[in-house]
Amino acid sequence: MSSIELILTEAEFLAQQCPKPNGTVLEQAINGSLTSIVTYIKLANGDYQILSRYEDDVWEHPASKGTKAARASDLKLNFATISDAQMKRMAKWVVWNKIKEGLAVASQRNVLKNLKSYFQWVLNSDATATHGLTAFTSSAYAKHVNTLTSKRNGEVKPLAPRTKTQKFQALEDLYRYCEAFDFVKEQPWADSSASEQAGSVGETLKEARTKPKTPIIPDDVLIPLCQFTKSYLDKADEILASATKKESLLLRDSCIFWLLLTTGMRIHEVLGIKRGAYRSETKDDITYYHIETVSEKTHTGLAEWIAPKIATTAINILGRLSAPLQAQLESDLQKAQASNDHTEAHRLEEISGHICLSKAPKNGNQITLLSGTTITEHRLPNLCKKIESDWNLSAHQFRRTFANYAVHSELGDLRSLKDHFKHWSITMTALYAFNDDLDAELFEELLREKYLIEEEIKQDWFELDTPITGGDMAQKIMQIREDGELIKVFGSHAAMVKAFTASIPIRSVGIGWCTNDDECKCGKPDSCESGIVDKRHAPYWTGMLVQQMTLLRLGVSDIGEAGIANVRKGMERCEKVLTALGFDVEAMKQEINQKMAQGEDIEGIEVVNV
C-alpha cells in the first residue's frame, strides 16, 4: 500500500478511529477482530497520513512523538516477536490503553519489553502457560526475576529494585487491562505490590528516592576532558576552514560536551537546540544567557536553561558545522513534498534548523538528527579515550555533575572550572525559582544536590576525627559530639547528628561557614559566634599565611611599623586556624620561607584575597 493510499480525509479518519475503550471494543480485542487507527500525522490541508493500525504487528509513531535523541527504531513497537496469539492480543490491548492515557513512546516500549519478557518466561513452562496469570504463577515469576543479574560497568550485579519493579508492573498491567482475557485468572499479589515484590520498601525505598544513582564525573577525569575539548572550541575557525572529518567530529563532540556540562540539560534537550536559540539578560552587571529548547520529559513545548557564555559559543559553532547538512535537508524536504511523501516531509520538518544534524550512512546518507545513543555509547567514551581515561562517561552523568559543581560554586567552595560556574549566584537561583519558563526539574535537582552537600558538610562536623574551629557554634558542636549521654538519648550517633544538623542553616563566607540565618556579614568565621571553619577552607587560610609572610619580608622600610603590626596580627590569626585544623604550622612556615628564599613558586598554595 502506497503512502498516498494511506491518506484519509477528516471524515474518513473520524469514521475509522476507535472510540475510547468499552465493552464492545474489548470483545473485539479479545477475539482479534479489532481494527482502528493507532498513529497518524495530520497534514497542513486537514487530511491525515495513517502510519499504523491496531491490526498491524508494528506500530510506528511519528517523529514528533519521540524525543530529539530518539532513533527511527525507537519510534516503533514490534508485536511480531510474540508467538502466542492471545498474548499478542493482550500486549496490544495493554499498550493501546497506555497510549490512550498519554504514555510517552519510550515508556510504551518499556511496557512492551517487560510484557514480552514475562510472556517468554510463561511459554518456557507448559504448566505455567496452562495456569495463566494467578497468584501462584506470579510468585514463581517474582522468584525468577529476583535471580536475574545484569552487567553494569563491567560488574555482574542483581537487577536494581527499579528494574524489577517495572518487570512486576507488567503483571499488574495485565490484571488491570486484561482481566476479561482467559489467560488472566486472578490478581498477581492481592496483599502486596510490584514495589514490595522488588524489595523496594522501607529503607531500600527511602534510599532509592534520596540517594543519587548517577555518579559525579571525578575531577581527575573532568578537568582533562575540559582542557581537551576547550582546545577544540578555541581552534574552531581553523577546523571549520580545513573541513577534516575527524577533527570536525571532535569539534562537534566538544561543543556537545560543554553544553551538557554547563547547562544541566539532558541529551535530548541539547539535541533539540536550534540555531541562535538563545537570548541574553543582564542583572546586577552580570550577563545571563537563556537557551531555548524542548524538554519532552517535563514540558510540553519550549523551555529555557540559563547558561554561561561558553555554551552560546558552542551553539554558534554547531550551527556553522551543520550548515551544509541543513542545505541538503531543505533540498530533500522539497523533493519529499513534491512527491507527496508526507511521512518523510514530516520527519524533515521536525529536525529542520537544529544544530546537531547528521547523516545516516545505512539509510542512503539521509539527513537525520544525532541520536542520544550515539553520543552516549560512542562519542563521549571516545573523548575519554583521547585523554587516556577508562571512565565510563555517559550523557546522564553531566546533569548531576553540573548540579554538584553549581552548588559548590554557590557555596563558595574551591573547585576547578569555577569561572564557568560563577554564574550560579543567588541571583541565578532566584531566576530559576520564579521563572515558569525555566526547567523546574533542574531547579529541584540543584536543591536536592545542595541538600546532599550541605548534609555531608554538617555530618562531618559531628565526627570526632574531623577538626573544626570557630566561634560558639563550633565549640558547641565539639561538645555535643563527645557527649556519650546525649547519644544514648537519641539512640545512636547518626540519629543525634541528624536531629542537630536539620536545624543548622549554612552559608559560605569564603573562608568558612556562617550558621546565622540572618545574613551575618562579619566575614570572621574563625571568631564569630555563628562561624565554623573546617578543612575545606584550609587552602584559603594557607594562601593568606603565604600573603602575610610575603608582606613581612618587605620590612618596616616598605610597609611601616603599623603595617608590620597588622601583618603579624594576620599571621597569628592564620596560624591559630591552621593549628586548630591539625596542620603543623611551624613546618609549613619553614617550607614556605625556604621556597621564597630560593625564589620558587609555592606549589599547591592558592593565594586568596580577603
Whether residue 426 has pLDDT greater than 60: no
Please give the full DSSP string across 34-92, using - where no structure is assigned.
---EEEEEE-TTS-EEEEEETTSSEEE--GGGS-TT--GGGGEEE-TT--SHHHHHHHH
- The mean pLDDT value for 436-456 works out to 76
Architecture of domain 219-431: Orthogonal Bundle (1.10)
- The mean pLDDT value for 391-415 works out to 81
- The mean pLDDT value for 413-418 works out to 62
pLDDT at residue 490 in the model:
78
Largest CA distance in the chain: 102
Whether residue 494 has pLDDT greater than 80: no
| Model confidence pLDDT, tens digit, residues 374-390 | 999 999 999 999 999 99
pTM confidence score: 0.71
Whether residue 604 has pLDDT greater than 80: no
Give the Cα separation of 11 and 16 in Å (integer).
9
Whether residue 140 has pLDDT greater than 80: yes
Whose cell is 575531577? That residue is: 219
pLDDT at residue 298 in the model:
53
Whether residue 267 has pLDDT greater than 90: yes
Give the Cα separation of 350 and 191 in Å (integer).
47
pLDDT at residue 607 in the model:
39
Burial class (CB in 10 A: 0-12, 13-18, 19+), 414: middle
Burial class (CB in 10 A: 0-12, 13-18, 19+), 143: exposed
The region of weakest confidence among 19-23, 79-83, 123-127, 443-447 is 19-23
pLDDT at residue 15 in the model:
82
Higher pLDDT, 209 or 182: 182
- The mean pLDDT value for 214-228 works out to 92
pLDDT at residue 608 in the model:
39
pLDDT at residue 232 in the model:
97
- The mean pLDDT value for 181-204 works out to 81
Domain boundaries, the chain: 15-35+59-209, 219-431, 440-532, 538-598
- The mean pLDDT value for 340-344 works out to 90
Q: Which one, of 119, 114, 141, 115, lies nearest residue 129 by Cα?
A: 119
The region of weakest confidence among 4-8, 67-71, 143-147, 250-254 is 4-8
Backbone angles phi, psi at 191, to 5 degrees: -110, 25
- Give residue 212's pLDDT band: very low, low, confident or very high (50, 70, 90): low
Percentage of the residues of the chain whose pLDDT score is greater than 90? 45
Whether residue 415 has pLDDT greater than 70: no
Please give the full DSSP string across 300-325, using - where no structure is assigned.
SSEEEEEE-HHHHHHHHHHHHHTHHH
Distance of CA 246 to the CA centre of its chain: 28
pLDDT at residue 127 in the model:
62
| Model confidence pLDDT, tens digit, residues 285-341 | 778 888 999 877 654 567 888 888 999 999 999 999 999 999 999 999 999 999 999
- The mean pLDDT value for 28-57 works out to 92
- Give residue 204's pLDDT band: very low, low, confident or very high (50, 70, 90): very low
pLDDT at residue 4 in the model:
43
On whether the CB atoms of residues 246 and 312 are closer than 8 A, the answer is no
Give the Cα separation of 360 and 364 in Å (integer).
7
Higher pLDDT, 428 or 276: 276
Whether residue 251 has pLDDT greater than 60: yes
Distance of CA 532 to the CA centre of its chain: 32
The set of cell numbers assigned to 128 is 505455567
Higher pLDDT, 172 or 211: 172
Percentage of the residues of the chain whose pLDDT score is greater than 70? 86
Average pLDDT, the chain: 85
pLDDT at residue 400 in the model:
87
pLDDT at residue 505 in the model:
85
- Give residue 435's pLDDT band: very low, low, confident or very high (50, 70, 90): low
pLDDT at residue 273 in the model:
96
Give the Cα separation of 416 and 598 in Å (integer).
29
Give the Cα separation of 172 and 195 in Å (integer).
11
Residues 6+ apart with CB under 8 A from 212: 400, 448, 449, 452
Give the Cα separation of 428 and 426 in Å (integer).
5
pLDDT at residue 493 in the model:
74
Residues 6+ apart with CB under 8 A from 537: 511, 512
pLDDT at residue 170 in the model:
96
Give the DSSP letter of residue 6.
Answer: G
Whether residue 205 has pLDDT greater than 50: no
